[in-house]
């Protein structure tokens, strides 16, 4: 990467330049609750958090808010929810129980999961439940403004619609006080007074300052909240960022209706599992932060996002790529403490850290080395226990077969005369000195192959079949040294 400055620092500079005298800069993030809040949603919040850190590093005071859009309607039943929940479609997601907790609502259960996971990766926003805000009528004055200026809003929205909004459209929706569903029609709305009727037969006239059953639709709600919270920065997914999308109309509505400049904005692309689909809470493809942390250390999880620009989509790997990702991070960490990083690399490392940066580099074994230690039954040192747990999880759930092995105590295969000769020669090399290095052994393997008249592939194949009863495996020199030279010699004795 050749960029001179990290993207979040550039945005922070732009935010400050736009409002240089502002005492506290507000950065926002948030999501709806179609289902489990997944690692795809994390891209929104980590994008905001990185800008927050950039502002703080420049000595600025910040407010980091995360909105739960839990006053949205329940649209469809997610794959992991009982079909009987269809009876709640049309209700606010905050107004019916969770199938997983008798004490919590559907929304609050999902929110609590995500809120509990974020601190593990160093993200600690101020959470705002929009259901509470709306039920307490906090936006009544701003909703009134939207009602008063509904013709102006209709004009803005119609610029980007194929079919114009109906003349009797209002920038509000109502959850029926009787059935709690949004199967309502606005009869009239003027000032703070709204009259509605519901398909269930209920009809009422309410004051929106006193009854919190009214909300603005998303395209009005989003810019309204920018004004209410005085937001300076908020990212959005690529779906919100297309021409005529929610950000386009939001920018115009907040300016024309609320006389406030839209916040600094950056769109982010989607992420997905390597070889899989994009994440979706409603479809059941909802890998959580906790799921990813079973394999990736918190700093590694941040590193995946920090090292990729928001506008670039990427895949989260759980296959053998995991080994390289750990190696890349470890190399970056070494370079950082040896002061050999450029500005971009330095910033990536700093922003990947969950807490304060340690003055000394942590001493821990590589992911690859731990794969061998664990499968050869070696004792794991205290410094490696956290990483070793993730290696075990990876071996059990995701590792490809070439990374899994069990060191044999008896040779399970028949060897040709040439293979036997090669194994005896390997035994002689191992017996030849007390200590071996991986590099020396690696060179010895090729010397043996030439001496016996085998190809390198044939030699390695024979050695793997003898040691782990598989045709390939981890680096042979590493495998031998990790298992123990004496143990390998004892096994090779059987090749006579």
| Domains in the chain: boundaries | 1-164+218-354, 172-215, 373-402, 417-495
Structure tokens at 34: 């179609």
Looking at residue 278, its pLDDT comes to: 60
Q: Show Cβ contacts of residue 355 under 8 Å, excluding neighbours closer than 6 positions.
A: 122
Name the nearest CA neighbour of 407 among 335, 467, 447, 489. 467
> For the whole prediction, is pTM greater than 0.95?
no
Strands 173-174 and 184-190: unpaired
Q: How many CA atoms lie within 13 A of 145 on its CB side?
A: 16
CA distances from 94 to 4, 98, 129, 281, 410 (A): 46, 9, 9, 16, 62
Whole-number Å distance between alpha carbons of 409 and 417: 21
Structure tokens at 420: 């036997």
Name the nearest CA neighbour of 106 among 124, 80, 125, 128. 80
Looking at residue 276, its pLDDT comes to: 66
Domains 1-164+218-354 and 172-215 belong to one CATH topology: no
Looking at residue 266, its pLDDT comes to: 95
Look at residue 121 and give its three-state secondary structure: helix
Check if the beta carbon of residue 66 is closer than 8 Å to that of residue 29: yes
Whole-number Å distance between alpha carbons of 465 and 478: 16
CA distances from 248 to 94, 263, 335 (A): 29, 12, 42
Rg of the chain over all Cα atoms, to the nearest angstrom: 30
Whole-number Å distance between alpha carbons of 271 and 283: 15
Fold assignment, 172-215: SH3 type barrels. (2.30.30)
Looking at residue 2, its pLDDT comes to: 46
Dihedral of alpha carbons 214, 220, 225, 230, sign: negative
Give residue 376's Cα distance to chain centre: 33
Looking at residue 356, its pLDDT comes to: 92
Looking at residue 1, its pLDDT comes to: 42
Q: Cα(first)–Cα(last) distance of the chain, in Å?
A: 54
Tally Cβ neighbours within 10 Å of residue 94.
23
Query: CATH top-level class for 1-164+218-354?
Result: alpha beta
Structure tokens at 303: 């590193």
Looking at residue 453, its pLDDT comes to: 95
Give residue 191's region: left, alpha or beta (phi > 0; psi -120 to 50).
Answer: left
- Residue-by-residue pLDDT tens, the chain, 496 positions: 445 689 999 999 999 999 999 999 999 999 999 889 999 999 999 999 999 999 999 999 999 999 999 999 999 999 889 999 999 999 999 999 999 998 999 999 999 999 999 999 999 999 999 999 999 999 999 999 999 999 999 999 999 999 999 999 999 999 999 999 999 999 999 999 999 999 999 999 999 999 999 999 999 999 999 999 999 999 999 999 899 999 999 999 999 999 999 999 999 998 988 876 665 655 555 799 999 999 999 999 999 999 999 999 999 999 999 999 999 999 999 999 999 999 999 999 999 999 999 999 989 999 999 999 999 999 999 999 999 999 999 999 999 888 899 999 999 999 999 999 999 999 999 998 888 999 999 999 999 999 999 999 999 999 999 999 999 888 899 999 999 999 999 999 998 7
Region 417-495: CATH code? 1.10.10.350
Dihedral of alpha carbons 271, 276, 277, 283, sign: negative
Q: Show Cβ contacts of residue 315 under 8 Å, excluding neighbours closer than 6 positions.
A: 271, 272, 273, 274, 275
């Amino acid at each position: 990467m050749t960029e001179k400055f990290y993207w979040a620092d550039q945005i922070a500079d732009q935010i400050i330049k736009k409002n240089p005298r502002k005492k506290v800069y507000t950065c926002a993030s948030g999501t709806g609750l179609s289902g489990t809040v997944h690692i795809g949603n994390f891209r929104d919040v980590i994008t905001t958090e990185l800008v927050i850190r950039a502002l703080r590093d420049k000595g600025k005071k910040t407010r980091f808010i995360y909105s739960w859009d839990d006053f949205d309607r329940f649209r469809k039943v997610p794959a992991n929810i009982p079909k009987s929940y269809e009876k709640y479609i049309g209700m606010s997601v905050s107004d019916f129980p969770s199938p997983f907790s008798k004490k919590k609502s559907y929304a609050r259960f999902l929110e609590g999961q995500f809120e509990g996971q974020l601190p593990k990766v160093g993200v600690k926003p101020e959470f705002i439940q929009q259901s509470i805000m709306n039920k307490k009528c906090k936006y009544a004055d701003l909703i009134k403004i939207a009602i008063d200026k509904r013709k102006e809003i209709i004009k803005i929205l119609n610029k980007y619609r194929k079919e114009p909004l109906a003349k009797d459209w209002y920038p509000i929706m109502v959850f029926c006080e009787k059935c709690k569903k949004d199967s309502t029609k606005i009869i009239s709305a003027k000032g703070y007074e709204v009259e509605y009727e519901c398909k269930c037969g209920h009809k009422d006239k309410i004051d929106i300052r006193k009854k919190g059953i009214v909300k603005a639709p998303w395209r009005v709600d989003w810019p309204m909240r920018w004004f209410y919270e005085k937001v300076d920065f908020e990212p959005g997914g690529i779906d919100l960022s297309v021409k005529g999308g929610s950000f386009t109309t939001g920018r115009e509505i907040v300016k024309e209706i609320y006389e406030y400049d839209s916040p600094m904005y950056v769109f982010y692309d989607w992420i997905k599992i390597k070889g899989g689909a994009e994440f979706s809470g409603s479809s059941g493809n909802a890998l959580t932060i906790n799921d990813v942390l079973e394999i990736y250390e918190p700093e590694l999880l941040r590193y995946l996002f920090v090292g990729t620009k928001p506008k670039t989509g990427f895949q989260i790997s759980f296959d053998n790529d995991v080994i390289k990702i750990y190696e890349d991070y470890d190399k970056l960490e070494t370079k950082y403490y040896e002061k050999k990083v450029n500005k971009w690399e330095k910033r990536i490392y700093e922003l990947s850290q969950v807490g304060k940066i340690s003055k000394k580099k942590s001493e821990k074994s590589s992911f690859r080395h731990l794969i061998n230690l664990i499968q050869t039954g070696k004792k794991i040192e205290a410094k490696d226990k956290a990483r070793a747990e993730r290696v075990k999880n990876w071996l059990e759930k995701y590792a490809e077969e070439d990374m899994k092995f069990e060191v044999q105590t008896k040779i399970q295969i028949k060897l040709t005369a040439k293979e036997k000769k090669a194994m005896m020669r390997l035994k002689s090399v191992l017996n030849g000195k007390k200590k071996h290095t991986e590099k020396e052994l690696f060179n010895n393997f090729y010397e043996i192959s030439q001496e016996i008249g085998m190809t390198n592939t044939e030699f390695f194949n024979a050695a793997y079949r003898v040691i782990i009863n598989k045709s390939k495996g981890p680096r042979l020199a590493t495998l031998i040294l990790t298992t123990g030279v004496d143990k390998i010699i004892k096994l090779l004795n059987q090749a006579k």
